Amino acid sequence: MERKIRILLADDHVIVRMGVAAAISFEQDMAVVGEAADGEDAVRLADELLPDVIVMDLMMPRLSGTEATSLIMKAHPGIHILILTSFIASTDLGAAIRAGAKGALPKTSSQGEIIEAIRKVAAGQRVISKSLERDITLNRLSHDLTARQIEVLSLAARGFTTQDIANILEISPNSVKDHMKLIYQRLGTSSRSEAVAVALRDGIIKT
């Protein structure tokens, strides 16, 4: 009997994990061997299970998908990582690819597309959707803002106050202010309106 592709699912949303796991369950050549709800668990389970492929979310608690990818690739370069994300406009995506992820798909991809990508990544092929490839290119001009900073800036661009942003992202207002200070430094700006203008110009955020 042909060896199955062993897959670890890493996503903090259980519904996403369930959906991908359900799609995999119909495939004769692959099996889910573990699930992780955060980045630290993804790293730990990668060490314990040594899967062939990890389907990895970017935005997770404790360690981001990018950070987890970097750690896993350093310890286990033979593991293949497929990024599955809903947070497209992120410098973290490009960083994850540079850290060694073999592929990236948006979470809007069909089950068939995800299954096909898992097979290709398991075979060592590079699989990046055209939409994400474009965003990776655009985000080379992102001045090294983190995913969280881009989230904060995107909300600021939509007119949300510091308290609004804190409520939406479930962080403290002081954390929002700290993010904005770093954003100003990295964009070379001194005000919210100026930072938003630069970010829109350089394609860091979209209207």
CATH number at residue 134: 3.40.50.2300
Q: Whole-prediction pTM value?
A: 0.65
Alpha-carbon radius of gyration of the chain: 18
Tell me: do 81 and 97 sit in the same domain.
yes
Question: Residue 100: in which H helix or E strand, if any?
Answer: none
Residue 163 has pLDDT above 90, yes or no: yes
Average pLDDT, stretch 100-123? 92
Tell me: do 129 and 154 sit in the same domain.
no
Alpha-carbon distance of 12 to 10, in angstroms, equals: 7
Beta bridge mates, 127 = 103
Average pLDDT, stretch 71-98? 82
Average pLDDT, stretch 128-152? 70
Is residue 156 classed exposed, middle or buried when 0-12, 13-18 and 19+ CB atoms within 10 A define those classes? buried
Average pLDDT, stretch 47-70? 92
CATH code for position 162: 1.10.10.10
Structural domains of the chain, count: 2
- The pLDDT value recorded for residue 128 is 85
- The pLDDT value recorded for residue 141 is 47
Residue 75 has pLDDT above 90, yes or no: yes
* Summary mean pLDDT of the chain: 87
Average pLDDT, stretch 57-64? 88
Q: Which of 178 and 143 is assigned the larger pLDDT?
A: 178
Q: What is the pLDDT of residues 11-22, one digit of tens each?
A: 999 999 999 999
Tell me: do 124 and 24 sit in the same domain.
yes
Tell me: do 29 and 124 sit in the same domain.
yes
- The pLDDT value recorded for residue 87 is 65
Which SS3 state, helix, strand or coil, does residue 144 take?
Answer: coil
- The pLDDT value recorded for residue 91 is 59
